[in-house]
Amino acid sequence: GYPSLYPDWYKPDQLYTFKPEPSIPEMQAHAGRYQLFNLKDDPTEHNDLSKSRPDIVTEMSERLRLLTQNAVPPNYPLVPDPKSNPSKFDDVWSPGWC
């Protein structure tokens, strides 16, 4: 059950209804499109501000481009390190370096 009512606390179903997960075609329709939300005032991300604040979208997309350009690619080894074998760590996988 739910605890007694607290200030500013409500059951989730009293705030809004949850939408079903979007389908793959719906997600692909939004790929490459920027969305902008004010998480302080709209924590559930219902009001997209990207059309009303294109200046912020441009600034953030440029910043994202620069960060992506300078990002170091991840190192995903194809074969697990033998030093990380679970038999050496009480049957728990370890990175092998700690």
pLDDT tens by residue, 76-94: 777 777 777 778 777 777 6
For residues 24 and 31, give the distance between their C-alpha atoms in angstroms, rounded to a whole number: 11
Contacts of 37 (CB under 8 A, 6+ apart): 45, 47, 48, 49
Residue type for 21, please?
E
Q: pLDDT over 70 for what percent of the chain?
A: 77
Choose between 79 and 95: higher pLDDT.
Answer: 79
pLDDT at 2: 54
For residues 97 and 88, give the distance between their C-alpha atoms in angstroms, rounded to a whole number: 12
Query: Which among 64, 76, 63, 16 has a CA at the least distance from the CA of 43?
Result: 16
Cα maximum dimension of the chain: 57
